[in-house]
Chain A
Amino acid sequence: MVLKIFFPRCCNMADSGLLIGHWLPGQDSAVVLAVVHYPFIPGQVKRYLSQLQNESRVELAVLGSWSMPKEGQEGMESFLRDLSTIFPRGRWLQLSREMGKRGFTCQVVHRDGELPRGEGENCKGDNGDGGGVIFIHYDQRKSQPLFLTDKYDDGPLKLTHWQSEGREASIIVELAKQASVPLCLLLTWLLSLWTWLCSSRLLNLPPVRLVSSKLSTCVQLSYRTEHLQTVSSPKRALGHAEFMRKANIFVSFFVDVALGLLLISWLYRENRISRLANTLVPVADRVAKELQELLQWLMGAPAGFKMNRALDEVLGRFFLYHIHLWISYIHLMSPFIESLLWYMGLCACLGLTFALSVLSDIVALLTFHIYCFYVYGARLYCLKIYGLSSLWRLFRGKKWNVLRQRVDSCSYDLDQLFIGTLLFTILLFLLPTTALYYLVFTLLRLVVVLFQGLIHLSVDFINSFPLFAMGLRLCRPYRLAEGVKFRVLCEEPGKPLHLLMEINPLQYGSVLQWYRTPTYNCYPKDSWAALCKKLFVGELVYPWRQKGTKTD
């Protein structure tokens, strides 16, 4: 077994003295934490160690001696060697440096046999005793419990150990810490008031719930409430993951609000709202006009196809009437649109995500007619497809058994077959007309869904992007460690191996993956194939949710 000695880099140039640290049980390795300098009284060291051990709950021991050659301290070596009798231990390490050399030499003295084992000279060439020593130099980064008590230099002992580089912006941080507790309490109280308001009976009526679950602003609102509840809980974050989650939410909340305020400052200047409102109504009008023209085109002979005249006319008139209704509705609304926009724009001060959600909702409301057309077309088309498929089964002498959920064979009468053939012919010849209407309106609907999807994706991105973790990775890469990596430091003949242990920072991709705030799932759950199949069969896609399939 190879003996591993973890040696802090700050103690490289320390004066001679004793090594303090602890043995890792079962791993044959020792971790050096500090060096006690030469003028000391052994009894004092023991008392000091037990005191530290009580305070920090880290098992501490005197590992061995450390000698750094200096002028006027020639007798030191033998003195330090004799110390091993004072501090009883299983093994006693004797580390020493020589002038002008980078490597250390190490001797291990066993208490029982008093035999030097694994000398520096031995572990290079022949390896007869099957052991050696590796020095692993490491940087102490995080303050261990041992170093929380910053009182080393006050006592009678002089030590070299790791020291923090001071706390950053400590006054501001302390003030913020003091202020955060009442702020959190206030926020929690406000949030509880808000949730109580939300859970009142009036808002939980079925129609209100249905509408609010479809409006992305409401979804975002509930989501933000949940986030703020997480952040403002006065309990301390228990683990690293929870802390990072809180910090990420906090930072993204602030960035979101800042972006929203920026948007407001841009929007409410130079009369931009009224200009926007003035363009919005003509645009909606224009869309309706274009739709009307499209319907007129469909009612004729689109692209040279000959449709069923009667059905074509019926469908076209139905949709035209719908558009007419829509246009009058828009005109009724137009005087109020500007003030409506003005008030809605105010919710951008809650954050950019809210502004985007409101935009998504406005788009959804303004293109409601397209959605209606799509639903009508899809229902009609779906009906025909189902009729055709069941009649196709009739030709093959089969039928769908509802009770057993399978296709059974069945013998039909002549009359049934006759009627079935007639119906099948009619449906088949009417199918192209319906399919055309369905196709056109589905394409229109898909354009709208694509636009809304883009907005939702950006909202989701702002909500879930781990800004704090990314910043931490950028500025303090050692705080987010994936593991360690080793580098061979120096090799001088006749010296044990020296390795440098460094922290291997987490890759950016895995930072994103680990610290992403989980959000409500706005991504489509269907695969592309499933989506295409749904479109082909005429089932409604987003945002209609079918009730779960009936199962017995």
Chain B
Amino acid sequence: MADDEKFTDINGKVIFLACQNHSSFCREFTVSAPKVSLRHIMMYTCSVWLVAYIVFFLTENTAVLSGAIFVTLVGMLLHIHFVKIDHETLLIIGSLGVQVSSSYASGRESTTFIEMSKIKDIVINEAIYMQRVIYYLCILLKDPSDPDTLSSVVPLFQSSKPRLNCLVKVYQSCQEILAQC
């Protein structure tokens, strides 16, 4: 039961929300951001190489050109390995826990699993971001020994910041599962 609907993030870019129902108490939500656009890559490389060529023109040192190639390559590698997040996944399994994972464009994945006994609730929160107010989904954690206090907050979908309509959809299905157990 995977349905693709068009959602936008807070900047107006199109993102995709895939909702997979593995069973009645296990759901997976994947928010995928748009791929790295070719235009941006072209723009950045061209600007770096133009600057390098100007410097080369002035100094007549060929090391500048090879340095520029090296810088663009390393920059691109670092970007896809550490910065560009391709999709973020929220796997919620009733009575077991919630798993949050984000996979980078290079295939690297970072995953954290949160036990159900530590989860107090999943809520939609407001935050001031730059000059506007945005909504975000977050998991409220509690100390298992002291269930009334809030120990920390884990924000979800941090890199692709979806708008409220998308968050509401995820929130409703999460609450359904949380209510069961």
- Enumerate chain A interface residues (CB-CB to B < 8 A): 1-2, 4, 28, 123-124, 127, 130, 132, 134, 136, 483-486, 488, 491, 496-497, 499, 504, 507
Contacts and interface: CB of A to CB of B under 8 A. Distances in A.
Contacts of B26: 134, 488, 497, 499
A478 to B, nearest CB: 14
Given A2-B95, A486-B99, A124 B23 contact: yes
19 contacts: A28-B95, A123-B24, A124-B23, A124-B24, A132-B24, A132-B25, A483-B112, A484-B113, A485-B101, A485-B111, A485-B113, A486-B93, A496-B23, A497-B22, A497-B26, A497-B93, A499-B93, A504-B111, A504-B113
Nearest to A4: B96
Contact of A130 (B22, B113, B180): B180
B91 A486 contact: yes
B86 interface: no
Interface string B1-37: 0000000000000000000001111101000000000
Interface in B29-48: none
B128 interface: no
Given A132-B23, A497-B22, A488 B28 contact: yes
Given A123-B23, A127-B24, 5 more contacts: A124-B24, A485-B113, A486-B96, A488-B28, A504-B113
B130 interface: no
Nearest to A125: B24
A2 B92 CA distance: 14
Interface in B71-107: 91, 93-96, 99, 101
Given A484-B113, A485-B111, A1 B181 contact: yes
A134 B93 contact: yes
A499 B96 CA distance: 11
A484 B180 CA distance: 23
Contact of A491 (B22, B99, B110, B111): B22
- The residue among A124, A130, A485 with the most chain B CB atoms within 10 A of its own CB is A485
Given A123-B23, A488-B22, A491-B22, A4 B101 contact: no
Nearest to B97: A486
A131 to B, nearest CB: 9
A178 B41 CA distance: 61
List the 4 closest A-B pairs by CB distance, nearest first: A485-B111, A2-B95, A497-B23, A127-B24
B93 to A, nearest CB: 7
B93 A491 contact: no
Nearest to A133: B23
Nearest to B117: A27
Interface of B: 22-26, 28, 91, 93-96, 99, 101, 110-113, 180-181
B94 A2 contact: yes
Contacts of B111: 485, 504
Contacts of A507: 110
A364 to B, nearest CB: 37
Contacts of A2: 25, 94-96, 181
B3 to A, nearest CB: 17
Contacts of B180: 127, 130
- The residue among A1, A4, A486 with the most chain B CB atoms within 10 A of its own CB is A486
A504 B94 CA distance: 20
Contacts of B112: 483, 504
Contacts of A497: 22-23, 25-26, 93
A4 to B, nearest CB: 7
A68 B65 CA distance: 66
Nearest to A483: B113
A4 B91 contact: no
B95 A4 contact: yes
Contacts of A486: 91, 93, 96, 99, 113
B24 A485 contact: no
B94 to A, nearest CB: 6
Contacts of B23: 123-124, 132, 491, 496-497
A2 B97 CA distance: 12
A318 B178 CA distance: 82
B65 to A, nearest CB: 32
A485 B95 contact: no
- The residue among B110, B112, B113 with the most chain A CB atoms within 10 A of its own CB is B113
Contacts of B113: 483-486, 504
Nearest to B94: A2
A1 B91 contact: no
A504 B101 CA distance: 11
A504 B99 CA distance: 12
Contacts of A136: 96
A504 to B, nearest CB: 6
Nearest to B20: A488
A501 to B, nearest CB: 9
A1 B22 contact: no
A145 to B, nearest CB: 25
Contacts of A132: 23-25
Contacts of A483: 112-113
Contacts of A28: 95
B115 to A, nearest CB: 9
- The residue among B91, B93, B101 with the most chain A CB atoms within 10 A of its own CB is B93
A132 B23 CA distance: 9
Nearest to A132: B25
A47 B84 CA distance: 59
B155 to A, nearest CB: 19
B73 to A, nearest CB: 22
Nearest to B112: A483
A123 B23 CA distance: 8
Contacts of B24: 123-124, 127, 132
A497 B112 CA distance: 21
Nearest to A1: B95
A484 B24 CA distance: 22
A55 to B, nearest CB: 31
A401 to B, nearest CB: 48
Contacts of A124: 23-24
A491 B22 CA distance: 7
Contacts of A499: 26, 93
- The residue among B23, B26, B93, B181 with the most chain A CB atoms within 10 A of its own CB is B23
A124 B93 CA distance: 14
A134 B181 contact: no
Nearest to B21: A491
